[in-house]
Amino acid sequence: MSKAKYVTGLRAVEQLLSRPAAGIVKLYAEYRTANPRVESIIAQATTRGVEIQPANRARLQQISGETRHQGVVVELQRDSILDEAGLRTLVENKLTGEESGPVLLLILDGIQDPHNLGACLRSADAAGVDAVIVRRHGAAGLGPTVSKVAAGAAESLPFAAINNIGKVLGWLGDYGITVVGTSDSAEKTVYDVDFTGSVALVMGEEHGGIGKSLLDRCDELVSLPMQGTVASLNVSVATGICLFEIVRQRRGSVRG
């Protein structure tokens, strides 16, 4: 039996309830609330036949941990984290299935802050990323804070936690997927590379960037052209910029 997972926060819970197959098991909601958004969420859950468990704020805080619950917590039964075999199957299905097309993967090498991870997932979902890949150990993983910041993306995006990302980069090339890493010292900018084919975008951790072992496995390295006095951007901001440059190029390619 898979371990229960909890999602907190009004926006994240609203996003979950808007999707037919969100895997919701139970909604814990603050009773005697005067918040109309909480009342609306309870009404939506009731319409969907979701079990509703009234709870006081102490109980909600106990479930959500350090994350602010805003009066609602959703319990999800299924655990959607992929292993390496599951990731390979996803890639193969995307490349050869009925709706085959170029693959877009986001690889996050050692992001520590769950707020950054959540923001990256939100951007990845908006940009149509097929899967997000992280280290299994030594980095932020899915949790209530990530789910809240991601506003539903953490429950909809395929998410792979991998022991050896370098090994994954090795076999991605066998499928014709170009691995593009980000580096402040790269000579090319994100606007100089063709992203219209299958791409795995690698973003590094907050302070040290991409580890050397992964940098050496990248087919291309790109930077963002910085015009001001700051040396670099927050990793979640940089991720959004890179992903939507890929979206821009692909939309232009389709129109052409």
Share of the chain above pLDDT 90, in %: 43
Q: Confidence band (pLDDT; 50, 70, 90) for 249?
A: very high
- Per DSSP, helices labelled H in the chain are 10-17, 36-48, 57-64, 84-96, 114-126, 144-150, 153-156, 165-172, 212-215, 235-255
- pLDDT tens-digit series, residues 176-212: 999 999 998 899 999 999 999 999 999 998 788 898 9
Mean pLDDT check: name the lowest of 80-89, 112-121, 213-222.
80-89
Q: Distance between CA atoms of 248 and 256, rounded to whole angstroms?
A: 12
How many Å from the N-terminal Cα to the C-terminal Cα in the chain?
Answer: 49
Average pLDDT of the chain? 86
Q: Distance between CA atoms of 206 and 113, rounded to whole angstroms?
A: 8
Residue 128, pLDDT > 90, answer yes
* pLDDT for res 2: 42
* pLDDT for res 77: 64
* pLDDT for res 59: 87
- pLDDT tens-digit series, residues 36-45: 999 999 998 8
Q: For the chain, list the domains and their CATH numbers.
A: 5-76 (3.30.1330.30), 81-255 (3.40.1280.10)
Residue 167, pLDDT > 90, answer yes
Tokens of 68: 């602010």
